Amino acid sequence: MFSFIRSSNPSFAIDLGTNNTLVYQPRKGIILEEPTSIAYDYNRRSFFDCGESSKRMVGKNPKYIEIMQPLSKGAISNLTVAKAYIKEVIARISRKRIFKPHIIVSVPSDLNAMERNAVIEAGREGGAKSVQLIKDPFAAALGTQCAIEQPQGVLVLDVGAGVSDISLLSLSGIVMSKSLRMAGNDLDEAIIEHFKATKRVLISPSDAERIKHELGNLVHPEALQMSISVKNLVTRLPETFTVNAIDVHQAILPVIDKIVALTHTMLSELPPVFASDIYDRGILLTGGSSMLKGLDTYLSSKLEIAVNPVENPLHNIILGAGRAIEEERYSKLFK
């Protein structure tokens, strides 16, 4: 297997997420963390400003500028946009370098062959010398120092922005996995739709995300409130509206219960030989959306099994992908 560290070409691990992209450089750590978005100017017919600078334009951009996201539900939704975005990311991390970089991209475990090839094509045309993939469950487990090469089961539940994925790992392989193209972004949409239907007000996506973080709580939806600006769908005028945590709890619960159902199905289908491993060690919970208050407790109570949040859910996968590059023994995980 090719050794990335010893090559004269630089190597990087990339966690290309639906909402955020992180880049890890061996021996240096995380060197980039920005939103997965890029702006397109229809007048000039060109892409410009990716990451945080493009995200700040959302909702305030003129009609001839569109803020595009290359991924949807964990998969590339627009190959042209993805190539432009990855090209910009590679340009940022490879400035003043003569050699094209080798990149390892962390991807959801359920991507089909066409979706995997789209990631590889986007990376190569974006400026990489070579592109290999590592599945998110492997990276997540490595990020928490799990010994995935041992003959014991490790169950990883990754709740990201676009995908919820649960995988059983053993002997450096995926024994079985299940995915649901529903996760953190769907919680935002559920909040928007709930208040649209019950209160006749329209909440912006950015405010829905803020509401989720500040008021979302699955175990103790306390009497918390926050004021936001909304559009009244009856008067068609803007107004100040007070959101309470009880309504938020009601809005997000149906989405969370689908993740519970996914996990329950996985547990019910576990091979008997892994049952003691999983019920002794519990489920490893990772992904940015796993930070929703009370999610681990809610899952544990519904499933009657320990659910253990990782220490750093936002960086867990990229740190694991970086570890896979740095330690030769994990090179067999690359596809």
The Cβ of residue 130 has, within 10 Å, a number of other Cβ atoms equal to 17
The arithmetic mean of pLDDT across residues 80-95, rounded, is 87
Give one DSSP letter per residue of 110-173, joined into a string: T--HHHHHHHHHHHHHTT-SEEEEEEHHHHHHHHTT--TTSSS-EEEEEE-SS-EEEEEEETTE
Is 323 annotated among the ligand-binding residues?
A: no
Helix, strand and coil content of the chain, in percent to the nearest 5, comes to: 40, 30, 35
pLDDT of residue 227: 96
How are strands ordered across the β-sheet holding 238-244? 201-202, 225-232, 238-244
Is 210 annotated among the ligand-binding residues?
A: yes
* Least reliable range by pLDDT among 105-109, 248-252, 280-284: 105-109
Cβ-contact 171, 151 below 8 angstroms: yes
pTM score: 0.89
Q: What is the mean pLDDT of the chain?
A: 91
The arithmetic mean of pLDDT across residues 26-39, rounded, is 94
Residue 250: pLDDT over 70: yes
Q: What angle do CA 227, 232, 238 make, to 5 degrees?
A: 65
Residue 45: pLDDT over 60: yes
How many whole angstroms separate alpha carbon 158 and alpha carbon 179? 9
The arithmetic mean of pLDDT across residues 107-122, rounded, is 88
Largest CA distance in the chain: 65
The arithmetic mean of pLDDT across residues 275-290, rounded, is 93
Determine the angle formed by the axes of helices 245-268 and 184-198, rounding to 10 degrees: 140
The arithmetic mean of pLDDT across residues 270-299, rounded, is 94
Q: Sketch out the chain's domains with CATH numbers.
A: 11-139+316-333 (3.30.420.40), 152-310 (3.30.420.40)
Cβ-contact 334, 133 below 8 angstroms: yes
How many whole angstroms separate alpha carbon 224 and alpha carbon 201? 19
The arithmetic mean of pLDDT across residues 154-177, rounded, is 94
Residue 2: pLDDT over 60: no
Residues 6+ apart with CB under 8 A from 273: none
pLDDT of residue 60: 86
Is 212 annotated among the ligand-binding residues?
A: yes
